[in-house]
Structure 1
Amino acid sequence: MSEVRIQTEDFDLSHEMAQLRAGNARVGAIVSFVGTVRDLNEGAAVAEMELEHYPGMTEQAIQGIIEQAKARWPIYGAQVIHRVGPLKPMDQIVLVAVTSPHRGEAFSACEFIIDYLKTEAPFWKKEQTPDGARWVDARSSDDQALAKWS
């Protein structure tokens, strides 16, 4: 099972994990990553972050990332839920979850998916700071994380 959802509403981690492994007794590992909004970025307080995306293209890009992970590791399922719209510090932004026979494959595939998601999926972030709104540029650390998979 692979699922990609872009949504404004929050998600329930326990519910999503149960759905991902439901009925599959072969699953030996579930690994998940949840990204949240920080209250500080690049030295500035963040009151709100707004995420925008390119509908249709974003889901297709993420599905392609999941397919690449499936080609590299024996995973049974993967799920990506990414929120858009205005978010406050401590809000959940993204869930990446992977099921596989063993933990090593699940950890690797989950890390691969989030690394590619951070650099390859068409999302744009705007933060509200005390100095006003600012668009967030891509980070070199995200590019470095991606490079290890080449």
Structure 2
Amino acid sequence: MLVISGNSDIKSSIIMSNSTLDGGDGTGSFGNVMVLGVPQADGSFTDLSVQLAGTFQKLVLVASQATVTAMSGAIVNEIGVAAANKNDQVTLQGTINNVDVFQVGKLEISDGSAINTITVYANTHIIVDKTAAVGGITKENNAMVTLDGDGA
């Protein structure tokens, strides 16, 4: 577990392994966080599991296949999804204010999750699980969105 304490202010963080980040009360910051699996010989990246606790006011950018969980009580303002491999699946769990999708094969919103707004900038397949809630989806740049799942 990586924990920010006091008013520590890191400019940016790159996460390349399964991790739990605790942003504390928001007086400190991990800066912009990039979630990026380790590159493999076939061009894919390792699948990561990253948990977010505490407060994240700055961007969390998911750049490869991963499951990102906003833990109970976490405040996560913005997650960007720009997977390096357009066939990657990114799964989001928990309560997240805004999600911006720049590139991904599939975006899954897991059961029990609550996303205020998803803004899609590229063709995307979004899977909304049965008990997940999405406040709204906005399409930019003539993006096409395929909605699927029991909560769609």
Q: What TM-score comes out, normalization by structure 2 length?
A: 0.28
Greater share of strand? 2
Give the greater-gyration-radius structure (CA).
Answer: 1
Report 1 or 2 for greater relative contact order, CA contacts < 8 Å, sequence distance ≥ 6: 1
Greater share of helix? 1
Q: What TM-score comes out, normalization by structure 1 length?
A: 0.28
